[in-house]
Amino acid sequence: MLKQLTPEKVIYITWVSVALTLCWPLPANNGKIQVFMFKALQIISIINAFILLLPLLYSVYLHFDDVIIVSKCVAVSIGLTQVITQTIICFAKYDSLQHVIEEMIICIKAAQQYEEKIFHKYIEKCYTFYACSITCMYLTATAFIIGPAFSPASFPIDAEYPFQINYTSVKIIIYLQQTLVGFQCAAHVCLSIFGALLLWFTAARFECLAVELQKITNIGMLIACVKKQLRIRRYAKKVVISFRFIILYAIAVSTFVLILDGIIMIMKVSLIVKVQFITLSLTMLTEIYIYAWPADYMKDMSTNVSKSVYNITWYKQTLRMQKDVLNILVYQQPIIFSVNCILPELSLRYYCSLYVL
């Protein structure tokens, strides 16, 4: 099965998993009307999340003394704020995301045989983990949505509405709206896999360049590699810029959830509430790991490109070629996922420090 799983299919599966987020931009060849309609749907998606968020806050206000209801409302509210925040960020970063996706598709279509082997190696490395993550996220949302069929609850979410909901038509509308929002939340958690896809692709491009550097025989090939290295580094920075605030928000929410989870653990609440918050904490930590793993790998691959120059016999080449080799060595500084003054570096080391917290 893995041999049949091409990079194009991986991109398609990722697109399907995040389709409800409306965060995957349209292809560049779409007209202004299609783009306008797509952005209008993004705004409607934000409004749809707010429509459920407000009743949840109202429910917290009415049942502030009920720890179980409050904890459930807080957990769902966190997911809704993620829907709203990520949609707003992707709305603002529409052009940037569209550019990096288009470049990824073009690069994959034009890949040479050795590049295809490297892409397939990355697919084998990541496929099982990410496929299981997508499946678990949507199964969790499905279980959450069909919950009222096995419990006395009328709706999947304990929201309070400031109007009568005893009418059948009203109940159906509310249930459908909560169902849509539930799957939206699952899709927005899967948005981390979209970011991971771009990071893994960037790391693979760096590795392809390192292989290409081993085949250098003349100064023309070296100059081409230097130009390619600069293009890939610019691409990597665009990917980082496109997702840095999404990841920053995810880290902030994860920290808040971990602190809230610790408070819930020392309180005298039911086991169900504790299990709910433990599950929420594990979900948020998994989301950070989905980003941290490829970000860490991209950092290593961006450094290995410069190091691979040492494996060629540059000392036997002409003086001009030796100078060009030095130009490559200038870019030994790795590409890291960071936010100035807030997030020094997103890596597995940072993830472990967050987990210890």
- Summarised one tens digit per residue, pLDDT across range 26-73 is 998 888 899 999 999 999 999 999 999 999 999 888 888 877 778 778
Position 40 scores a pLDDT of: 95
**What is the pLDDT confidence band of residue 12, given thresholds at 50, 70 and 90?**
very high
Cβ within 8 Å of residue 63, ≥6 positions away: 69, 70, 73, 158, 160
Give the separation between CA 189 and CA 140, rounded to whole angstroms: 11
- CA distances in angstroms from 229 to 201, 299, 317, listed in the order given: 14, 14, 21
Residue 82, burial from CB neighbour count under 10 angstroms (0-12, 13-18, 19+): buried
Position 148 scores a pLDDT of: 78
Position 313 scores a pLDDT of: 59
- What 3-state class would DSSP assign to 86? helix
**Closest of 8, 2, 1, 5 to residue 201, by C-alpha:** 8
Position 235 scores a pLDDT of: 92
Position 274 scores a pLDDT of: 76
Between CA 124 and CA 133, with CA 127 as vertex, the angle to 5 degrees is 160
pTM value is 0.88
**Interval 315-339 mean pLDDT:** 67
pLDDT tens-digit readout, 125-136 = 888 999 999 998
> Is residue 32 within 8 Å of 77, Cβ to Cβ?
no
Q: Does 334 score more than 90 pLDDT?
A: no
Q: Where are the domains of the chain?
A: 7-355
Mean pLDDT of the chain: 83
Q: Does 200 score more than 90 pLDDT?
A: yes
Q: Does 197 score more than 60 pLDDT?
A: yes
pLDDT tens-digit readout, 207-251 = 998 888 777 777 777 778 778 888 988 999 999 999 988 988 888
Q: Does 356 score more than 60 pLDDT?
A: no
